[in-house]
Every structure is written in structure tokens, then in C-alpha cells.
């Protein structure tokens, strides 16, 4: 009986150790760790629609950093994102940032589009040119409204262009 208890404790310890190792691996490889050392940039957007801290920052589709924080500017009511970009990447000062989606059902990320300037942004700098998130629901609503409006207009024009039939019978003399 005593040997069985020691075996159960040892098995439990092995399971706990494996769980801790998986947790450490997940945190260090998820891009969400709090380790600093990157280029810290900010960017202001009208809307960020579901973009959360930990989201990717990509250049040409390659992950170069992550979103570390988000807040609202009380003076302008713009969403302010803090981006942590790999310090080996020189981000030109005329670069732009846009919030885009991985696909129809995919998550959102910040795409940095490098500019042509020779001068780079320093840590603490701001990306001035931004494009906010495009709402798929809003686009779909506008499309449906325009198609409905177009059909209504075509039906109205069709009723106006319908020839009126000539009176039946001949004229009496």
C-alpha cells in the first residue's frame, strides 16, 4: 500500500513538471512575453475592431513584433496602440501602419508598410500614417443597401418606360 502511494506521488510530480515545461514553452514562444529590448512605437487609429494586445505586427507578412498595449486618447478619442518591433528592423519615419485581417474569419494584426525615408523611427516614436480597421459588417451592409437601391431604381424606371396600350376598337364616324 505504501509503495503504491509513492508511485502515485511520483507520477503526479512528473505530470506537474511536464505541465510547467509546456507553460514555459508557450509563454516564451507566443510573442506575449514581457521581455523588452525591442523598438517601442505608437500609432493612433480611428477604430481597431477586435485587435487585442499580443496581436502580431508584420512587415510584408512576416512577424516582426507584437502589440503590447492599447488605450484611448481622452482628448481625441482615438485608439492608441503601443507596438514592440524587433530592434534589428529599421522602420523609416514615413512608414504607415494599417490594421488588417488574416482572412474572412481570421484574426487581426498590424501591418507596417515601410516608407522611403532614410531616417528611421527611434524608440518612443510614432507612426503618423495609419489606416483603421475596415468593418466587414459595415461593408456587407453597404453592399446590400446599394443592391436593394439599384433594384428599386430599375423597377421604378421599368414602370415609367412601359408603353400605354392603345384603346381597343376603332374610331366611330
Domain ranges for the chain, please list them.
37-137
Residue 143 phi/psi, 5-degree rounding, is -65, -45
Please name the residue ranges forming H helices in the chain: 2-29, 136-160
Query: Is the pLDDT confidence value at 170 over 80?
Result: no
Which of the residue ranges 7-21, 77-91, 129-143 would you say has the lowest mean pLDDT? 129-143
Mean pLDDT for the stretch of residues 33-47: 79
The set of cell numbers assigned to 92 is 523609416
Mean pLDDT for the stretch of residues 124-150: 84
Query: Is the pLDDT confidence value at 103 over 90?
Result: no
d(CA 132, CA 35): 28
**First vs last Cα of the chain: how many Å apart?**
125
Mean pLDDT for the stretch of residues 45-49: 89
Q: What is the pLDDT of residues 53-66, one digit of tens each?
A: 999 999 999 999 99
Residue 73 banded pLDDT, cuts 50, 70, 90: very high
Instruction: Return the pLDDT at 173.
Output: 46
What predicted TM-score, i.e. pTM, was given to this entire model? 0.61
Q: Is the dihedral of CA 97, 99, 101, 107 positive or negative?
A: positive
Mean pLDDT for the stretch of residues 8-28: 87
Amino acid at each position: 500500500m505504501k509503495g503504491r502511494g509513492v508511485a502515485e506521488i511520483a507520477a503526479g510530480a512528473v505530470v506537474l513538471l511536464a505541465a510547467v515545461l509546456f507553460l514555459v514553452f508557450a509563454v516564451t514562444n507566443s510573442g506575449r512575453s514581457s521581455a523588452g529590448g525591442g523598438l517601442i512605437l505608437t500609432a493612433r487609429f480611428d477604430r481597431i475592431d477586435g485587435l487585442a494586445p499580443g496581436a502580431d505586427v508584420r512587415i510584408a507578412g512576416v512577424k516582426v513584433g507584437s502589440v503590447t498595449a492599447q488605450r484611448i486618447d481622452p482628448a481625441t478619442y482615438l485608439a492608441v496602440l503601443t507596438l514592440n518591433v524587433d530592434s534589428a528592423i529599421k522602420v523609416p519615419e514615413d512608414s504607415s501602419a494599417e490594421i488588417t485581417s488574416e482572412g474572412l474569419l481570421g484574426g487581426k494584426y498590424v501591418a507596417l508598410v515601410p516608407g522611403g525615408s532614410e531616417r528611421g523611427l527611434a524608440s518612443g516614436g510614432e507612426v503618423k500614417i495609419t489606416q483603421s480597421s475596415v468593418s466587414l459588417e459595415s461593408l456587407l451592409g453597404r453592399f446590400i443597401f446599394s443592391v436593394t437601391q439599384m433594384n428599386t431604381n430599375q423597377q421604378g424606371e421599368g414602370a415609367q418606360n412601359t408603353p400605354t396600350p392603345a384603346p381597343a376598337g376603332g374610331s366611330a364616324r
